[in-house]
Structure 1
Amino acid sequence: MPVTTAPAATVQQAHTAPGPDFDALRRSDPEIADVILGEMGREATGLQLIAAENFTSPAVLAALGSPLANKYAEGYPGARHHGGCEIVDVAERIAIDRAMSLFAAEHANVQPHSGSAAVLAAYAALLRPGDTVLAMGLPYGGHLTHGSPANFSGRWFDFIGYGVEPDTGIIDYDQVRLLARTHRPRAIVVGSIAYPRHPDYALFREIADETGAYLIADAAHPIGLVAGGAAPSPVPYADVVCATTHKVLRGPRGGMLLCGADLAERIDRAVFPFTQGGAQMHTVAAKAVAFGEAAAPAFSTYAHQVVTNARALAEGLAAEGVAVTTGGTDTHLITADTAPLGLDGRTARGRLAAAGMVLDTCALPYGDERGIRLGTAAVTTQGMGKAEMARIAELFSMALREDRKALTEVRELADGFPPYPARD
C-alpha cells in the first residue's frame, strides 16, 4: 500500500472499510462484528507506535480473508500430504519466488507461523539440545528466543549473552569475539528486539568463521527496511536469516526463513514436519501479496521515510528531555529512558496510553528500570512525515505531564491520517 496523505476522515468513515463480507458477519455474529469495529476505532483514533506493528494493505487483508483459509496443505508444493492442493501450490510458489527475488536469497521458506517459529526451525536445523549459542543478552535487547529461561531456547540450549558498550549503547564487538573464542558456540545469533542501530553483519560473519560457528540472523525487525533498501541485508553473511512478515514489511503476521541452497533441505524439514504441521495457505498468499508490494518503487520510498521519521522523532523526544539510547537510531525503532523526567518506563507507558499513544516498555542496558520502545512504521504508513514526528514529540511531553489536552490533540492528529481511508 503506497504512502498516502489522505484527507481527514471521521472515525465512522474509517469504519467503512472492513471488506465485502462484513455485513454477513454482522448479521451472523454481531458480538464479534462489534469487536472488529471497536479495534478499528482504536486504531483510527490513536497513534500506533509499537515498533512491531503496522497496517497491512487492503490487498493483504483480502488474501487473509480468502477461501484459501479452507485448504489443508501439509508438505510443500508438489509434495503435499493432502489432495486438492494444485491451486494453493501456485500461491506458495509465487510467495517463495518473490521472497527469493526481493532478498536475493537462494532459498526461502514462507511457512513459519511466526518469527519465533522461524527461529525454532533454524535452531532445529542447525543445533542439537545442549549446544552452546552466543546471542545478545536479554537485558540488552535480546528476544525471548535468544535464551530466555521461560522459552524453549533457554531450556534446550546453553546460551551465552553478549552486550553493549556502557558509554555508547553500541554492540561490544570485542566482547562478542572474546566470548566466541572462549565458549566456541555452535551458533552465533545476530539480531534483537530493542537495538536501534545496524549490526555489523560482516564482522559477525568473520567471528563466526574464526570460531567455527553458524551465523543466524534474527532480522524480524529490520527485514522490511532491507526490502526497501533502507538497511543492510544480512542475507550475504548469515547461514540462515529468520524474519517476520509483518512489522515494517507490512504483510500478515507470520514468519519466513532465508538461506543458501546448501541448507535448503535441512531448513524445509525443520519447518515441516519437525516443528509445524499444515501451512496456513491464506497467510502464505498474503505474504506473497506483501512481497509483491515491497518490490514496488513506492515501498523503497516508504522504507526510507520510516527511517527519516524515526530519526526526527528521536530528535524531538531528546529535545523534550527524554534520554534516547545510543543517541538516536538507524532504523524504525527508538529506545529511550524517561528517568530524566522522573518517570519509569511502565508509568510513562501508562500515561501515554491514556492519551491514545500506544507503545511498549523494554529493558535498558546496565540498569534495573525499564525504558520505552517505539517505532514509526505504522504512522509512516498513514502518511505522516517529519512535521508530524515533531508534533508527536510535543504530544509525548504533554501526555507524560498528564496534560488533559493531550488525548484530544492526539485524536485530532490521528483523524487527519486514517489507516484505512473511507471508500466511496
Structure 2
Amino acid sequence: MTIDTAFLSVGELAAGYRSGAFTPLDTCRQAQDRLARLEPDLNAFIEPMTTEVLDQAKRLTEELRQGRDRGPLHGIPVAIKDIIDVADVRTTFATKAVPPRHAARDAECVARLRAAGAILFGKTNLLEFAAGVAHPAFGQTNNPHDPSRTAGGSSGGSAAAVAAGIVPLALGTDTGGSVRAPAAYCGVIGFKPSFAALSLDGVYPLSPSLDHLGLFARSSADASIALSVLNPGVAPARPSPKPLRLGIVGNQWNHRAVQADVRAALDAARLSLERAGVALTEIQLPDPAEMATALLDILMPEAAVIHRTTMAKRADGFAPGTRDLLETGMTVPATRYIEAIEKQRRWFGEFESVMADLDAVIAPTVPFTAPDTDPALSTEGDDEIISLTHANLTGAPSVSLPLRIQGAMPVGLMATAARNRDSDLLSICETIEGILSHTA
C-alpha cells in the first residue's frame, strides 16, 4: 500500500525514510503529482525544477540505501522563494524590469540546505522584488483553503506550497511581515528569526535595515529543525519557567481593525492559554500607525536606492504599484529617514525592557482572514501590518501560529520574543501549539 506523504512532518518523513516505508523519491513523485493537480489554481511556483528535483531525490535515496545519512533534512523537499539564488536555476524576482538571472552559485541558505541533504523543490512565486505588488505577468498566488482569495505576500508562493501539502518546508523573506502574513492567511507556521540570525547572502535585498530570511513549516518543531541547519550556531532553547509568562499586546489585540471572526479565534486561544495556567499580562507597544510610518520611511527609500538604476532604464518593466512605491521612496526626505532610524533604535531598547519579565508577547498576526487580493502597504495603522512591523523594526524573532477554526479560514496568532532568543521562541510556540491542540 502506498503511503500518502503529503502532510507528514519533517520527523515523520525522516522516520519513514529510515524504516524503509517510503523514500525521498516516493515523496517527491507524490509532491510533483500534487503540484500538477493544484498548481493551475494556486499559481505557487514560477520554476518547479521538475527534472532537478527527481535527480536530487534519486541521489539522496541511494545515499540512504548505502548508509550515508546527512541528518534530519536528508531527503526533505524544501521550496525556495524566487528571490533567493539556486545555482544554475533562473531567478526571476517575479518582474519584467530585468531579465531572469541564472545564478552562478547557491545562496548561503540554499547551500546549507543542500549540504544537509534537503531537496530543492522549485522556486516559488512572490510579489515583485518582494516589494508588495504582484506583477501581472506572474499573477497572484492563491490560497489553498479558498483559491478565490490571496495566499498573501510577498512570500505567498512558499506559504501556499506548505499549506497545500506540496512541501513541508519553504524559504521566504520578511521585511515588513512577508513571511508571517502569508502564514496566517494559509494556516501554517511562519517564522521570522532575529535580524541577521540567518544569512542573506544570495538573497536579493529590498530594505537592508529590515530584511530577514524566514521560513514556513507545519509545526514549530519542524521550524526548529530547519533553523538548526540554517544556523548551526544558534543557541539551544532554555527550559521555560512554569507557567509561561506571555504579554498580550493590548493596542494590537484590541485594535479597531481586528475583525469579528479573528477576534473570536484570538479570544478562544487566550481562554485556552489561561485555563492551561499561562500567566498573561496586558502590555502596550508603540502606536501601530507610527510604527507603520517609520517602517515605510525606512523601506521605501532603501528600496528606491537598490532599484534606482533599473528604474532609470526599465521603469515600464515594473508593475505600476511597484513603480509607484519606488518613485515615492525617491521623494522621502533624508530627515524622515533618519528620524525613522532613530525610532527604530529607541524601540529596540524599549522592547528589550518590556521583555525582561516576559517569555514572549502575543498579538493577532493580521487583523483579518485572507482577502481577495494582497492588501497594499499603508501608514494608516488599520491594515494588515498593525502587528507585523514591530518585529522587523526591532529585529526580534517572531512566529505566526495557525489557529484553525472548523469550516472557516485560518487565523494567525503571533508570538514574538526578545532578540536572539530564536530557539526559545520556537520552544514556547511548541508549548502553545500543544495547549491549543488539546482544546481545539
TM value normalised by structure 1? 0.28
Which of the pair has the greater relative contact order for Cα pairs under 8 Å at 6+ separation?
A: 1
Q: Which has the larger radius of gyration?
A: 1
